[in-house]
Amino acid sequence: MRSRLRYAKVLIFSLPLAFLGVFFVYPILTLFDISLRPDGALDLSAFARLLTSDYYLETLLFTVYQALISTVATLLLALPCAYVFARYRFRGRSLLLSLATLPFVLPTVVVALAFSAVLGERGLVNDLLRLLFSLDHAPIQLERTLAIIIIAHVFYNFSVALRIMTSYWSSLGFHAEEAARCLGADELAVWRDIRLPVIRPALLSAGTLVFIFCFTSFGVVLILGGIRFATLEVQIYYQAVNIFNLPLAAALSLVQIVSMLFMLLVYTATQRRLHLPQDGRSAHSARPHTLRERAAIFITVGLMAILLFSPLAALVWRSLFVAGHLDVSGFTSLTDKTRASLLFTTPLQAVFNSLRFALFATSAAVLLGTVASFMINQPGAWSRLVDPLFMLPLATSAVTLGFGFIVALDEPPLDLRSSWAIIPVSHALVALPFVIRSILPSLRVIPPSLGEAARMLGARELVKLRTIDLPLVSRGLVVGATFAFTVSMGEFGASLFVAQRESVTIPVVIYRLFGHPGLTSYRQALAMSVILMLVCAGGFLIIERLRGVGVGEF
């Protein structure tokens, strides 16, 4: 009986490993093979072209440059805000800190459309300036510029830096700066000699993570920048889809993978020196007393409202009003078939596709993620080896994964390139690390004595699993499922590669509609963006409500 149970356990634990091997390791190895052996023999001409071409070297340098500028801008804005949140208690502080995370869970296509709605040529700011100064043209021309890419990256990653630095600062206290003030130090000296040295570990950790997100940014750069501001991600898509130069696209993907692995090693090194508290509450915060302290809070709240919420408000306003009059034609026309809606599919059908794929992807990710979490939670060196293995999809961009799918899964018995099933499979792969990181902490806080007591009372392994383990990790399961559903609904990079005529998703259709001329297409893109934003916001609210000690490691 024990032998049969052990074999069953090994078989069940092999399921997530097999899924990872077939749908991650195999496509990545295929990319390596295409880039190194395009004709069956070793051929490094694609890499030689990368090294000798000024264009591709400039693309790599621009990828690093825009990520660096975006990271610095994000940290410069988030640092003083993090100090205010860590230092002071004020009404609405916890709610504002939670709402600040909403932009980060939004799909990149929604973020791009939101900035187009507020700062684009047809955006609210330009409309207001035209009205106020009787202008015939848009005075602010930010579309297809580096500036709007950086602004969107700051919007997208602000909450990451804010939360990391606020949590770290809250755990340390402010006794050192109070002592420095007693010794006559001015505000500049306090920042230079006390605050910056104290916050440096969190600053490095947040900066590294933001740099990684900006380095692999795809939707924001593709929609707001275009091929003129192509990063590695955009070049991979352009070479594979537009030019069909698979060896060069594979070589670029390999450069992307190596770069990402290096940056993740740097991030891991910074994380080891960063000990965050179990929750984000500040044990050292105080009520503001002086006018300057109240002004700092007012400026912080105002800055966050403008930066984080005005683009989303502009997106909703633009979808509902035209020239100040209510117009819901963007929503009512979602049932119409147009060439702009991509391959003669109605935008509403894409909504149903996304919901259907998200349900499949969520089911697969939760099932495999639960099994993987129990496997990782087992004692021994094996679990420590398997744990980082399941995090590898996070070290690989969705564009690279999508490209790997179309070049690897095109022959029996894995001929999925023309099947709708490839989309939920790719979404499940991207969501799997989020599910594991949501369930695993709940497993780790279960006292071993509960399982020992159940065994002493004669409970079998399945009974223990059903009556003890699963009920205690139920919150983590719900958080993981919500993460998986939200990730699937908003996934853009891989879907753009693998979506077929009958299986387009909301983000793909938004991208196609936004790039198609005409007011009808633009309003349909806005309407679909609002729908997707509401779905992701609902998922975010569920995650925030259930998130707590032992639930989630992100």
Residue 63's pLDDT is: 94
Residue 552's pLDDT is: 46
Residue 549's pLDDT is: 42
On the question of a cis peptide bond just before residue 441, with omega within 30 degrees of 0, the verdict is: no
Distances from the Cα of 116 to the Cαs of 216, 350, 548, in angstroms?
21, 22, 35
* Joined tokens for residue 147: 């500036």
Nearest Cα to Cα of residue 513 among 333, 358, 376, 384: 333
Residue 213's pLDDT is: 87
Strand ranges (DSSP E) for 161-297?
none
DSSP lists the bridge partners of residue 326 as 321
Query: For 364-410, how does the pLDDT look when each residue is reduced to its tens digit (9 = 90+)?
Result: 999 999 999 888 887 776 666 777 788 778 767 778 888 888 888 87
Residue 281's pLDDT is: 45
Query: For 164-188, how does the pLDDT look when each residue is reduced to its tens digit (9 = 90+)?
Result: 888 888 777 677 777 777 767 776 7
Nearest Cα to Cα of residue 486 among 476, 478, 498: 478
Q: Which residues are within 8 A (CB) of 123 and not within 5 positions of it... i.e. 6 or more apart?
A: 116, 117, 140, 314, 318
* Joined tokens for residue 265: 């090693």
| Superfamily per CATH, domain 1-33+336-554 | MetI-like (1.10.3720.10)
**Fold match flag (1-33+336-554 vs 57-174+203-327):** yes
Domain ranges of the chain: 1-33+336-554, 57-174+203-327
CATH of domain 57-174+203-327: 1.10.3720.10
Cβ-in-10-Å burial (0-12, 13-18, 19+) of 213 comes to: middle
**Residues of the chain where predicted confidence (pLDDT) is lower than 50:** 276-283, 340-343, 549-554
Q: Give the Cα separation of 341 and 350 in Å (integer).
A: 9
- The label of the residue with tokens 């902490």 reads 441
> CA-based angle 257:258:263, to the nearest 5?
95
Residue 460's pLDDT is: 67
Strand ranges (DSSP E) for 366-522?
none
Residue 265's pLDDT is: 76
- The label of the residue with tokens 């983000």 reads 507
Cβ-in-10-Å burial (0-12, 13-18, 19+) of 302 comes to: exposed
